[in-house]
Amino acid sequence: MSTAPRDPHRPVAHLRPHPNWINDPNGLVFHDGHYHVFHQYNPHGATHTHMHRGHFRSPDLLTWEQLPIALAPTPGGVDSDGCFSGNAVSDGDRLGGSCGHSLTRHHRAHDVPVA
């Protein structure tokens, strides 16, 4: 993720997911020797819709590894239109994340895979 870009105007130390929408970093946490960043991510396109929570980790805040999607909307659930906000917390053994829905103030928490 942090290799030198082809575009000389793009920062080198910058979170760069696979193509599509990225926005709103939340849930910045240090857990098990890595810094973790969660963010809005649309895996289906470059528009602000179908929001999931993307996940990166880094041992040094310079070299970033993109991990699988941390949270996804629940079909038919109160967050079915997207996980637009979230957070993360580490209890020392586990890394947990939550997805908040701005209209219903619904939150759901999950253990988040860290590797």
Residues identified as active-site:
24
| Beta strands in the chain, from DSSP E residues, in sequence order | 21-31, 34-42, 52-58, 65-71, 85-90, 95-101, 106-111
DSSP helix/strand/coil, 98: strand
